[in-house]
Amino acid sequence: MLTDDLKSVLYTEEQIAKRVSELGAELTRDYAGKNPLVIGILKGASVFTTDLIRYINTPMQLDFMVVSSYGSGTKTSGSVKIRKDTDTDMRERHVIICEDIIDSGVTMSNLFPLFSTRKPASLKLCALLSKPSRREVEIKIDYLGWEVPDEFLVGYGLDYAEHYRNLPCIGVLKPEIYS
């Protein structure tokens, strides 16, 4: 089983569902009547984004983009590549970027200036996890699930070399798996 590769479980499926529903309620309150555009960053934020929008109880639109700064490694390459851009015009839209984890901050430090040139009415960041101990670039997270320790996390969309995304929990991967 995939869970055999975990050193520990940080958040259970039930804890994640509760926190995602709370974030959805916050977004519903803050974006009522604004028809926000939610942009999920693939692949990692796919699970979080699709679960989150089910708890946003106001009209909204969904788009995705594919961005990479890790490849198959465990540390950022420092280079951000846009592999698939958004399809929706964000001019004068209230844009919410959904990310699975803010680690180094490199990806968002590249995306925010890019999105700003597209003239959104507002631009906010919603992240399930933040690992401030690894931050290379300071990033403001407007909606946050949890701050997490400096451990290699997998599950609920987070991966190691494209594996473990399908775990319903978030766990700490055993170091012998990735070292």
The answer, yes or no, to whether the previous bond of 34 is cis (omega within 30 of 0) is no
Cβ within 8 Å of residue 174, ≥6 positions away:
5, 6, 7
As for how many domains the chain has, the answer is: 1
CB 105 within 8 A of CB 138: yes
Strands 122-130 vs 143-147: parallel, antiparallel or unpaired:
parallel
pLDDT at 74 exceeding the cut of 80: no
138 half-sphere exposure, CB direction, 13 A CA radius = 0
pLDDT in tens, 76-93: 556 778 899 999 999 999
**Residue 54 carries which side chain, given as an amino acid letter?**
R
What range defines the domain where residue 173 resides?
2-178
pLDDT in tens, 133-152: 999 999 999 999 999 999 99
Q: Which residues of 18-31 are buried (b: 16+ CB within 10 A; e: fewer)?
A: eebeebbeebeebb
Output phi, psi for 128, to 5 deg. -70, -40
pTM reported for the whole predicted model: 0.92
The set of catalytic residues is 103
- Please, which residues bridge with residue 122 across strands? 94
130 half-sphere exposure, CB direction, 13 A CA radius = 20
pLDDT in tens, 105-133: 999 999 999 999 999 999 999 999 999 99
At 157, which CATH number?
A: 3.40.50.2020
Q: Helix or strand or coil: residue 148?
A: coil
Distance of CA 176 to the CA centre of its chain: 26
